[in-house]
Amino acid sequence: MSFVPGIGIVKGMALTLRRFFEPKVTVQYPEQVPEIPPRHRGRLQLLYDEYGALKCETCFQCAMACPIECIDMGGTDTKDRFHVHWGAAEQYAERREEQALRRSGRPVPDPNFAAFDRADTTRLDALLEQEEHDPRRLLPILEGTQEIYGYIPVAAVKHISTATGIWYAEVYGTASFYGQLRLELPAAHRLGICRCPSCSLFGGGAVRAAFEDELGVPLGGTTPDGSVALATDDCHGENAGTPWVTLDGRPQRDMTAAGAVRLAQSLAGHAPAGRA
Amino acid sequence: MPLLGTLVLLFLVLMLGVGTGVIPGIVIWIGGVLLANIAIVRFVVAATAVLLFTIPTAFVIIFLELKVIAFMNLRIGPNRVGPWGTLASVVHGLKVLSKEDFTPTGADVTVFTLAPVVTFVGSVMAFMVLPFGPGLFGVDFNVGLLYFFGVGGLGVVGLLMAGWSSFNKYSLLGGLRSAAQMVSYEIPLTLSVVGVIMLAGTMSLNGIVQAQSGSFLDWFVVRQPLAFLVFFIAATAEANRTPFDLTEADSEIVAGFATEYSGMRFGFFFFAEYVNVFLLSGLAVVLFFGGWTAPVPWPWPVHVLLAPGELGLALLALVIVVPVVGSALFALPLWMLRSEWPFWRAWILGLGLFSALAVGALGIYLLINLDALLGIVWFFAKAYVFVFTFVWMRATLPRVRIDQLMGLAWKWLLPAALVNLFLTALAILVVHP
């Protein structure tokens, strides 16, 4: 068929004639408003909800998707614990300036924004030199960093990202994924409570409630002054008819609710050095 | 008071003039002079009519172009000015009128000013010989077709003048490019028509239409399909339509001869282009598709016995009585059905319905009794099919290269036209020795 001369012209003319009768795709905008899908994002901008909290979850997906890495963003992580940041602040400092954002008509940034503390990076630099700035050795680097500082400060994450070329979000994601890596200083004391059915039957719930009431933090939390971390533990069947409680790994036998109150009172207020 | 006085005075003068026989004398004298020079009168009337006719034609074609191409692109097209955007092209025209009329420094002002006029006049003058219906043509030349192509060739002169006088090397190149294209395509265009002339035995366009009267099997497209193909392609190039619109090639190269033109002078070039589209569509219909003849002749003759002139005073009574009775016929049932309506509302609706019916009936009566009206309807229907095809092609086909354009004209269309010419001559020799 394709050897017939002029068949292409006929096919083309037939196509346009069919199009002539097809329904038209134009939306008469001011009169008809198109139905916009709920997940449509027409314009990238930071939004605040009705309580004034930033809606951005700082997932960095937009920054990772941006092909020319022009998105420069900062915020707190999902648990509202750490300030995280993406992009070279030096390069885009002008754009992040509050007045510049106001002029551009966008919402002004989080008023609680505070720059992270600068960390002394001499030992970290030595570690990075030893690991040859190799992105594939991120885990040893992070573990070494934790040995140096006792935890992984945000400044160190940023420094590692700059030195190795790994995206900040990947360094942060790796650091927050592994259980042995900490993003904050450990508490001075660690209170462990077993939550197995056996311990619960022997009054574990009352002990836990006493600790939570006295320390003012839920299970899994740390007191604001950093003196006590309340965590879950496992008795491995070793409880001898009493709830299993450990203090810094040492079991505390015959724990009752009253004893828990006394223990908590003795521990509170002994903040470790270096904690605000 | 002065108005009333003037009116009374005029009336008195009129009465006096009629009474003494002065005014009838003047009227009869003017009529006599006009009758004595009927050819001149006819020419002036036809020229004016054609000139006036080009304006709505161009506007309609521009509107068609906007709307049809939009529809083929799955867009809606103009829809803001007038119903369905029909006035969009008129607004375009007004916009062009309101623009600054600019003449570049160093331009040959006389030629620069004359160029659009020459292009436009060429198109308008060609209209004079186009038969729109039986008896509806400016002049019935016996060399009408030759005149048509001759005057149509004026367009090339206009483009060349525009290119030459603009004092711009790009305009000159564009003008020469247009001239080369149009002169090249004049040849196959003219040669393709010779077969039709030989079959019809005349170059009068009216004669050619009459030679095709009968059914659609008598149309020359049946006997001259190759000639029609060559004619159509060459006409597309001649009218500067896509895929051969290299003369101005809106989207690709500098606008050619029209680079330095602005305002209504620029508008005239495009006016002429759109008039040309209709002109060549009309010529295609006249030469190959039977002009104003119906594709299938009305199978039984219609004789409407009622001649309005014979009724005399009864006609007057009819004109007064029939609308009232007809309106009542429609209004009363409406009023009875919709008792909540006031009577005047039903009456107005009844009058409207009756008027629609009466106009329809009158139209049918005129169509049956006036061949000219039916002819015009057929002519325009056929011509606008071709106009639509030109627009359709513009929406579909990509532009050809200049060497492809020239190669097509000289290597394919010219030999094809010659072959058609010799075959036609041979066939005539065989059939009518």
Q: What would the pLDDT profile of B240-278 be if each residue is shown by its tens digit?
A: 888 888 877 777 777 778 888 888 888 888 888 899 999
Q: Do B361 and B369 touch, CB atoms closer than 8 A?
A: no
Q: What is the pLDDT of residues A89-114, one digit of tens each?
A: 544 444 455 554 544 444 455 555 55
pLDDT value of position A97 = 52
Contact criterion met (CB < 8 Å) for B71 and A19: yes
Interface of A with B (CB under 8 A): 9, 12-13, 15-17, 19-20, 22, 24-26, 28
pLDDT greater than 90 at residue A197: no
* Cα separations in angstroms, A133 against A153, A159, B5, B6: 18, 11, 109, 107
Contact criterion met (CB < 8 Å) for B72 and A17: yes
Residues 6+ apart with CB under 8 A from A264: A191, A210, A211, A214, A215, A228
Q: Do A77 and A84 touch, CB atoms closer than 8 A?
A: yes
pLDDT value of position B188 = 93
**Exposure on the CB side of residue B225, measured as CA atoms within 13 A:** 2
Mean pLDDT, rounded, of chain B: 87
pLDDT value of position A41 = 64
How is the beta sheet containing A245-247 ordered, strand by strand? Answer: A228-233, A189-194, A245-247, A250-252
Determine the average pLDDT of the residues in B389-417. Answer: 92
Nearest to A9 among B76, B79, B397 (CB): B397
Nearest to A19 among B72, B393, B397 (CB): B72
Residues 6+ apart with CB under 8 A from A208: A193, A195, A219
CA dist., res. B146 & res. B189, Å (int): 12
Contact criterion met (CB < 8 Å) for B73 and A19: yes
Q: What is the pTM of this model?
A: 0.62
Extents of the domains making up chain B: 42-297+372-431, 302-369
CA dist., res. B362 & res. B304, Å (int): 12
Contact criterion met (CB < 8 Å) for B74 and A13: no
Q: What are the chain B neighbours of A16 within 8 Å (beta carbons)?
A: 72, 392, 395-396
Q: pLDDT-based confidence at A84, cuts 50/70/90?
A: low
pLDDT value of position B214 = 80
Contact criterion met (CB < 8 Å) for B76 and A9: no
Q: What are the chain A neighbours of B74 within 8 Å (beta carbons)?
A: 19, 22, 24-26
Closest CA to B68 of B378, B427, B390: B390
- ipTM of the complex model: 0.74
Q: Which residues of B264-293 are buried (b: 16+ CB within 10 A; e: fewer)?
A: ebbbbbbbbbbbbbbbbbbbbbbbbbbbbb
Determine the average pLDDT of the residues in B124-139. Answer: 84
Q: How far is B225 from chain A (nearest CA, A)?
A: 16
pLDDT value of position B1 = 67
Residues 6+ apart with CB under 8 A from B376: B132, B133, B136, B292
Among A10, A15, A26, the strongest candidate for a mutation testing the B interface, having the largest count of B CBs within 10 A, is A26
Among A7, A16, A31, the strongest candidate for a mutation testing the B interface, having the largest count of B CBs within 10 A, is A16
Determine the average pLDDT of the residues in B61-83. Answer: 91
3-class DSSP string for B355-416: HHHHHHHHHHHHHHHCHHHHHHHHHHHHHHHHHHHHHHHHHHCCCCCHHHHHHHHHHHHHHH
Among A24, A28, A29, the strongest candidate for a mutation testing the B interface, having the largest count of B CBs within 10 A, is A24
Q: What are the chain B neighbours of A25 within 8 Å (beta carbons)?
A: 74-75
